[in-house]
Every structure is written in C-alpha cells, then in structure tokens.
C-alpha cells in the first residue's frame, strides 16, 4: 500500500460544520433508499463511507436544513454515478461512458420523466432531483446551468475520442 500524506492547507477562515448534519444525513439516506440508489446493505455502507453528507455540511456550513439536504442529495447522486461507471467497468469502455453521459445530459435537458419505464434508478433520481432543484430556482439559473453543462459534457466525450 502506498502511503499518502495530506499536505497542510492554510485557510484564512474557520472551519465550520453545519449544525443540521445529522438531520440532513438521515434525509439524504432516506431519499437514496426511496430512489433505489442503495438497494443492498453494501450499497448503503458505500454511501455512508463516501461522506457525502459530511462534505456537504462543511461546504454549506450555514445552509438551512432543506438546502443542506438538497445539496447532500446532489453529492450522494454524483458519488453514485461515479460508482456506477466504476462498477460496470464503463471506465474501460469509452463508448459506454459516452452513452451514460449522453443519458445524463438528456435528463438535464428534460428528456426523461421521473417515472419513465426502462430508465435506470440513477436517471430517475437525477430527473427527480433536477426537477426539485429547478422548481426552487429562477428559470434563468437552470437554463444557464444546462448551457454551461452541455459543452463540458461534449468536451468530455470528445476527449474520450468518441
């Protein structure tokens, strides 16, 4: 095993942790369960091990419970998407990665319904989360988000040589 030593970073502000961490963690786990993202005990353990909730509590130390929970859901979903790519060995198959990325992009464009038959649990969760987030934000925010995400996904596909 290779030893890794984290370098010290100076931050000119105090480290804070959101006081709603425990409640947001529980809500995030319940959401992941409801969405079918953690169908096994191993998957639930992996979600706990990612520390998505703790990361969110440090990234958004002053967020309300509802905003912290929403942010933690996004982090959990991002970690789950990464796991899906790793587990399915799609990282070794650029075409498969490109297909997954294209499907994710289609969801962000509004192309997948939350309850669409045949879509993966990840796509349904992304669709539900995107809908929940976009309702809470001005229309120009999510239009800009899609416009900024689209070229990045296209660049990723181009880098992969597909």
Q: Render 17-33 in DSSP notation, one character per residue.
A: --TTHHHHHHHHHHHHH
Q: Is residue 116 located within the same domain as residue 56?
A: no
Q: Is residue 108 located within the same domain as residue 44?
A: no
Identify whether 12 is part of a domain: no
Identify whether 109 is part of a domain: yes
* Residue burial 128-149, b: 16+ Cβ < 10 Å; e: rest: bbbeebbeeeeeeebeeeeeee
Q: What is the CA radius of gyration of the chain?
A: 17
Identify whether 148 is part of a domain: yes
50-89: pLDDT as tens digits: 999 999 999 999 999 999 999 999 999 999 988 877 765 5
Identify whether 13 is part of a domain: no
The full 3-state SS of 125-160, as one line of letters, equals HHHHHHHHHHHCCCHHHHHHHHHHHHHHHHHHHHHC
2-38: pLDDT as tens digits: 887 878 878 788 889 999 999 999 999 999 999 999 9
Domain count, the chain: 2
Identify whether 103 is part of a domain: yes
State the pTM of this model: 0.77
Identify whether 1 is part of a domain: no
Q: Is residue 94 located within the same domain as residue 83?
A: no
């Amino acid at each position: 095993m290779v030893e890794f030593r984290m370098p010290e970073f100076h931050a000119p502000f105090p480290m804070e942790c959101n006081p709603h961490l425990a409640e947001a963690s529980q809500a995030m786990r319940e959401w992941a369960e409801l969405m079918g993202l953690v169908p096994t005990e191993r998957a639930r353990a992996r979600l706990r091990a990612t520390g998505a909730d703790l990361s969110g509590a440090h990234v958004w130390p002053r967020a309300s419970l509802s905003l912290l929970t929403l942010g933690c859901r996004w982090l959990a979903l991002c970690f789950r998407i990464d796991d899906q790519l790793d587990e399915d060995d799609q990282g070794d198959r650029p075409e498969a990665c490109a297909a997954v990325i294209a499907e994710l992009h289609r969801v962000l464009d509004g192309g997948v319904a939350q309850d669409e038959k045949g879509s993966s649990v990840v796509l349904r969760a992304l669709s539900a989360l995107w809908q929940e987030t976009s309702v809470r934000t001005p229309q120009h925010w999510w239009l800009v988000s899609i416009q900024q995400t689209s070229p990045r996904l296209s660049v990723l596909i181009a880098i992969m040589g597909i």
